[in-house]
Amino acid sequence: LDSNKEVIIKVQRPDLRDIIEQDIFILRAISKEASKYPELVRGTDFESLLDEFLRVLHEEIDYLQEGKSCDHFRRNFKGYYRVYVPKVYWQYTTRKVITLEYIKGYKITEKEKMLAAGMNLKEITREGCNIYLKQLLTDGFFHADPHPGNLRIMEDGRLAFFDFGMVGHVSKELQIKLVNTMIHLISKDYRGVVEDFAGMGLLDKDSTNLDDVAKDIKPLYDARFESDNETSFKEILEDMAEIVYKYKFRLPIELALIIRALLTLEGLGHSLDPDFNVIRAFIPFIQRYMF
């Protein structure tokens, strides 16, 4: 800029909206054909899924909305030293162009460089997890795409967030249900876990025998939590794969974004600190949340 400030300018590819609309049109045609085969779709409402998919995509390619989300995130972490969010230069921002402050630092994958700079990777990982839990369980507004390209460790150890095209919202009601699910899972109250699933819209109470689901879950997680090795969030989800298919689980979009973000967070954390465990990191935060 004229002020000698370095900036990043993101420019949308030409005709992107038209290309997306064409793809959605094709997917709608496929979903209508697939809906003729009940055993293939197994009760999944692909039309509604596509509507939701299109809504999220339209938000992601609206750079004015991305800038507003960036400012929203910054406000949530005002006074929180360990988080940095780049400034949006609104005078150089439109729906198809966004101009952001350039942040120097290390990519989250540059582990050796950070170690050479004397950074404590365990502390960075722990703090990063706390930052995400704050987003999910306190703010109710979270960065839904925390892959390595959207995060940077600044030279002073702060964690900088980029690219707010994909964000998620968590209602207070859903926050409580997420906490309850984790408490019920850790305490091996599987009927409680299944009730939480139904409360979050994953299961239909009227058409599903919740006792049967709890009975199927029990041996999976008894074995998982009784083993000497700490279980991971990824392993918990993998254990559920057959159950999800058998009982025709549904996955609301916001819950899908939360799961995706936590899986990515766990992978990033583990790459920085091999001892990192997102379930273990949840426990003190959940205790504070309850109090």
| 10-residue mean pLDDT series, the chain (291 residues) | 94 93 92 84 76 86 96 94 95 97 92 93 89 91 90 93 92 90 86 92 86 91 70 83 85 85 87 84 77 73
Predicted local distance difference test score (pLDDT) of residue 228: 53
Catalytic residue positions, numbered:
145
Give the C-alpha separation, 216 to 210, whole Å: 10
Torsion of the alpha carbons at 116, 106, 128 and 186, rounded to the nearest 10: -70
Distance of alpha carbon 234 from alpha carbon 177, whole angstroms? 20
Question: H-helix or E-strand containing 161?
Answer: strand 159-161
Residue 7 phi, psi (nearest 5): -135, 160
- Main-chain phi, psi angles of 106, to 5 degrees: -105, 140
Per-residue exposure over 5-44, b if at least 16 CB sit within 10 Å of its own CB, e if not: eeeeeeeeeeeeeeebeeeeeeeeeebeeeeeeeeeeeeb
Contacts from 204-208 at CB under 8 Å and sequence distance 24+? 204/248, 204/250, 208/247, 208/248
**CA geometry: angle 147, 153, 155, nearest 5 deg:** 165
Instruction: Give the model's pLDDT for residue 77.
Output: 95
pLDDT the model gives residue 227 = 60
State the chain's maximal CA–CA distance in angstroms: 66
pLDDT at 29: 93
